[in-house]
Amino acid sequence: MGFPLLDIVGIGAKLIDKLIPDPKAKAEAMLKLKELEQAGALAQMNADLAVMTAQSDINKVEAASSNPFVAGWRPFIGWVCGSALAVQLVIMPLGVWGASLAGHPVPAPKMDTELLTTMVISMLGMGGMRSFEKYKGVATK
């Protein structure tokens, strides 16, 4: 991926226009610049395609597994956070409501949502960090 705010080809074209007075030499230099631009773009596209293909292969292997906790701790933490959210937002309110309808009102226990929020935000941060490492090509196994 290039730098979207830095137009290297445009800067190179301006430099060629100012530094090379001969029209034929200028056209050759511009052609060479365009070839370099295309080669870089193709190399980046090939690298991106290789990463997408590798990720697709990983996704296929994980999808073929019958184990719901396939890739280790990340799915486990996802299941724990999802279960905690389900208890806090669905099961407990329905239980309190059902108990009230049955004539036995019970106060809903207070869950530590601060801990749950901290955990979810931490997971999002670690996932983002891992994605950034993969993007930079420094991810470890």
CA atoms within 13 A on the CB side of 134: 13
Note whether 92 and 120 are same-domain residues.
yes
Note whether 84 and 141 are same-domain residues.
yes
Q: What percent of the chain has pLDDT over 90?
A: 7
Note whether 123 and 111 are same-domain residues.
yes
Q: What percent of the chain has pLDDT over 70?
A: 76
pTM: 0.36
> Which residue, 64, 82, 105, sits at the end of a domain?
64
* pLDDT tens digits for range 31-86: 887 777 777 765 676 677 778 888 877 767 766 666 665 656 567 777 887 888 88
CB atoms within 10 A of CB 114: 8
Tell me which of 26-35, 61-70, 114-123 is least confident: 61-70
Q: Supply the range of the domain harboring residue 133.
A: 67-141
Instruction: Look at residues 69, 71, 70 and name the one whose alpha carbon lies nearest to residue 80.
Output: 69
State the Cα–Cα distance between residues 71 and 69, nearest whole angstrom.
6
Note whether 59 and 93 are same-domain residues.
no
What is the number of structural domains in the chain? 2
Note whether 71 and 34 are same-domain residues.
no
pLDDT at residue 42, rounded to an integer:
55
